[in-house]
Amino acid sequence: MEDQDLDIDSVSEKKSQQEKKQSKIIFQSPSGMHDILPDDFLIFEKLRSIMFEEAYSFGFLPIETTILEQTALFEKGVGQGTDIVEKEMYSLTTKGGDKLTLRPEATAGIMRAYFEHGFVNLPQPVKLFLMGSMFRHEKSQAGRYRSFHQFNLEILNSASPASDFEILQLVYNIFYKRLGLKDIIFEVSSVGDKNCRPDYEKNLKSFLKNKKSQLCQNCKKRISKNPMRVFDCKEEKCARVASLAPKIIDYLCKACFKHFKNFLEFLDDCQIPYNLNPTLVRGLDYYTKTVFEVKIAENTKNFENLPKLSICGGGRYDELGNIIGNKRIPSVGCAVGIERLIDVLKNRNFQASKFYKPKVFFAQLGFLAKKKSFKLFQEFLRNKIPSAIAIDKDSLKSQLKLADKLKVSYTIILGQKEVLEGTVIVRDMTFGYQEIISEKKIIDYIKNKLKKAKNSL
């Protein structure tokens, strides 16, 4: 019996130690994930407003797809040989045995929704936009997180190079005209299609095999599965090899060449500046023909000498419909990285509209005044007068200090005496004088004061 008691005491002591240890744990966001804090959220909301407005003006409609999709959607749609599918997806198996994945990108899900919801029966092409969270288990670095947001623009069921141009024109309007990013660079190229790419890849593989000893381990593996990904490698020795490798531009079939030529003519006619980059590839298997990226320096100093940050990328994906819905739906789209764009804008002192800005603050002293102040506060809100209150504070000094921090125009002060007499004290926070006003007249009084102040600006 005594031995049992000792064992119980020992277990209890260990449990207590574990609880103490657990209580000291400071929880943090998971590695690579991040919170959007108030200052960044202001820019986030401003971007959402601008992007939605521009998308609507071009006839795009909003869509939100499920964050969890069947894993096979990305394995087939994005490509088994891509880094996203091989290394970066957050996947799970449900209790029912379903294999699901947090979306690493939006295009495959949008194409799935196109088929599932009968969009093929709508007037074509179908133009959609989406802003939402994506998830990739990749190495975290500045502007790149494992949980991030993208703004997608997609034109589905259009084979015309005019649609490629429309996507770029819309992106140009957002970045250049609305956000004032005058130093953006459009890099464009073509990756051909199933008619001309096989011959090119055969020649590229032959070239890379002869240079295999000069490549990194990842690129050596890519030679047989996805040789064009060598152009996207950041290793200096691989970049040297890639610069000498044959380029897809020289292997385009007549149809792909004509498509790309017409696309460039649209850009030239509308004076959208671009650089032709024959080494440009995208990290997803579904791209065909036109591909592009929008790049910008990370800050405004020494722009020419700085490495350029990709803030948007996209292209045409004519075969994705075949893969997902067994029907060819030639399409084009792009995705803007919101976190990267926010970092760029912050470096340029981008001004987003401020939070709700109260004009009036209610300060109170005593329980009766608290109740009366809160009723008046709600009446002010109903009359669309931006107001604030600190109902939890008792000290008049601390409330006036808060009113000063909020930079309100007027503070309305109530104590027990004012409640009983049906009056309020109005303090002008700019000039410091006070007036006693009837409670019944206070709303009209403040409205007139705010109106005069606005008219004097």
**Whole-number Å distance between alpha carbons of 297 and 40:** 20
pLDDT tens digit string along 389-410?
A: 999 999 999 999 999 999 999 9
Q: What is residue 105's three-state secondary structure?
A: coil
State the chain's mean pLDDT as an integer: 88
Q: Which two tokens stand for residue 130?
A: 């989406």
Q: Model confidence at 98, in pLDDT bands (50, 70, 90)? A: very high
Question: What is the rounded distance in angstroms from the CA atom of residue 129 to the CA atom of residue 154?
Answer: 6
Report the pLDDT value the prediction gives residue 283, as an integer from 0 to 100. Answer: 64
Higher pLDDT, 305 or 71: 71
> For residue 82, is pLDDT > 80?
no
313 Cβ neighbours under 8 A, 6+ residues apart = 282, 291, 292, 293, 294, 334, 335
User: Residue 373 in contact with residue 392, Cβ under 8 Å?
Assistant: no
In this structure, the strands spanning 410-414 and 360-364 are parallel
- 182 close to 278: Cβ distance less than 8 angstroms: no
Amino acid at 391: I
* pLDDT at residue 455 tops 90: no
| 142 DSSP β-pair partners | none
Q: Which ranges constitute the DSSP H helices of 272-353?
A: 320-325, 338-347
Model confidence over 407-420: pLDDT tens digits?
999 999 999 999 99
- pLDDT exceeds 50 at position 306: no
Between 158 and 38, where is the model more confident?
158
> Residue 436 half-sphere exposure, CB side, CA atoms within 13 Å?
7
DSSP states of 247-281 = -GGGG--HHHHHHHHHHHHHHHHTT---EE-TT--
Give the sheet arrangement for strand 410-414, strand by strand: 387-389, 360-364, 410-414, 423-428, 434-438
CB burial string 144-175: b at 16+ within 10 A, e below: bbbbbbbbbbbbbbbbebebbbbbbbbbbbbb
Contact residues for 42 (Cβ-Cβ < 8 A; gap 6+):
352, 353, 354, 355
* pTM (2 d.p.): 0.81
